[in-house]
Amino acid sequence: MRVGVLALQGDWAAHGAALARIGAAWTPVRTAAELDAVEALVLPGGESTTMLHLLEREGWLGRLKERLLGGMPTLATCAGVILLAEEVEPAQESLAVLRARVIRNAYGRQVASAVVPVRLANGLAGPSTLEGVFIRAPKITAVGKDVEVLGWRDEDPVLLRQGKILAATFHPEVTGDDRIQRFFLSIAEAGGEA
């Protein structure tokens, strides 16, 4: 399976390195044609408004939404979660495919970045916590009925699954713990788009 990493802005190269570490074939995605050539996608952290602007400018925001609604397996981290959320505060455009409400930069500015234990739901292999790197992270304030919470920072949900979408408000790509990437690949390999 070929995994694409949205490479318009943000920490896409770190995601590629994390995927390569676990033996996954990956490629940067910068065009609609490159999007159509992959079977799964990673939406990295970075600046969500900049990514939206670039997707609109290049004319393939609609195609990305089609692929997501079609069931393309997707891992979104930090700003990627903002791109997917149905509701974003302060209000901004999004792809609105993840039934969740998020508040941008809710844990503070860059200087408030932190490494915090993330408590995991049963079913994810390994220890019951992992290291969560939060950098200007969004906060999830509500989720839809069909959205499963898989991880928490204190009582806040920070890792969600909705069908073939896995959404983490932290940066699993910058730690040595590859459980999130492995779990994402297991979701992707279990079935492609509907």
What lies within 8 Å, CB to CB, of 48 at 6+ separation is: 79, 80, 82, 83, 88, 92, 94, 104
Is there a catalytic annotation at residue 78? yes
Does residue 89 carry a catalytic annotation? no
In the set 53, 86, 148, 173, the catalytic residue is 173
Strand 74-77 to 40-43 pairing:
parallel
The active-site residue out of 66, 78, 87, 93 is 78
Pairwise CA distance, residues 104 & 92, whole Å = 10
Catalytic residue among 39, 171, 189, 193: 171
Q: Which residue has the tokens 């065009």?
A: 31
In 3D space, the residue among 87, 58, 22 whose CA is nearest the CA of residue 42 turns out to be 22
Whether 39 is a known active-site residue: answer: no
Which two structure tokens, joined as six digits, stand for 71? 């069931």
Catalytic residue positions? 78, 171, 173
